[in-house]
A and B are shown apart, each in its own frame.
Chain A
Amino acid sequence: MYRTLLTVVLLVSIPALSYTQPTIHFNEVGHDFGKVMQEDRIAYVFEFSNTGNEPLIIEKLASS
Chain B
Amino acid sequence: MASSSRLEPQEKGKISVDINVKGKYGNIQKTIQVKTNDPANPVTVLTLAMQVRDKIHLSKFKAKEIFTGQCRKCHVERGNIKRGLELFLTDCIICHDSGKSASSISEMSKRSREYLINAISNGVKGSSMPGWSIKKSGPLGEEEIGSLVDVILKP
Docked Cα-Cα span, A14 to B149, in Å, equals 66
Minimum CB distance partner of B9 in chain A: A53
B106 at the interface (CB under 8 A from A): no
Residues of A in contact with B, size category = 35 or more
Determine how close the nearest CB of chain A comes to the CB of B42; give it in whole angstroms. 9
Residues of B in contact with A, size category = 35 or more
Interfacial residues of chain B within 1-24, with CB under 8 A of chain A in the complex: 1-2, 4-24
Contacts of B35 in A (CB 8 A): 58-62
A30 touches B37 (CB 8 A): no
Contacts of A50 in B (CB 8 A): 7-11, 13
B99 at the interface (CB under 8 A from A): no
B46 at the interface (CB under 8 A from A): yes
Interfacial residues of chain A within 28-50, with CB under 8 A of chain B in the complex: 29-50
Count of A-B residue pairs with CB < 8 Å? 161
Interfacial residues of chain B within 24-80, with CB under 8 A of chain A in the complex: 24-25, 30-41, 44-55
Contact of A42 among B6, B50, B55 (CB under 8 A): B50
Determine how close the nearest CB of chain B comes to the CB of A63; give it in whole angstroms. 5
Q: B residues bordering A, Cβ < 8 Å?
A: 1-2, 4-25, 30-41, 44-55
Please list the 10 inter-chain residue pairs (A to B) with the smallest Cβ-Cβ separation, ordered nearest first: A33-B50, A42-B19, A60-B35, A30-B47, A50-B7, A56-B7, A46-B15, A32-B49, A58-B5, A49-B12
**Mind listing 25 A-B residue pairs with CB under 8 Å?**
A29-B47, A30-B48, A31-B47, A33-B51, A35-B53, A36-B21, A37-B54, A39-B22, A42-B18, A42-B19, A43-B19, A44-B16, A44-B17, A46-B32, A49-B12, A50-B10, A50-B13, A52-B38, A56-B7, A58-B13, A59-B37, A61-B15, A61-B33, A61-B35, A62-B35
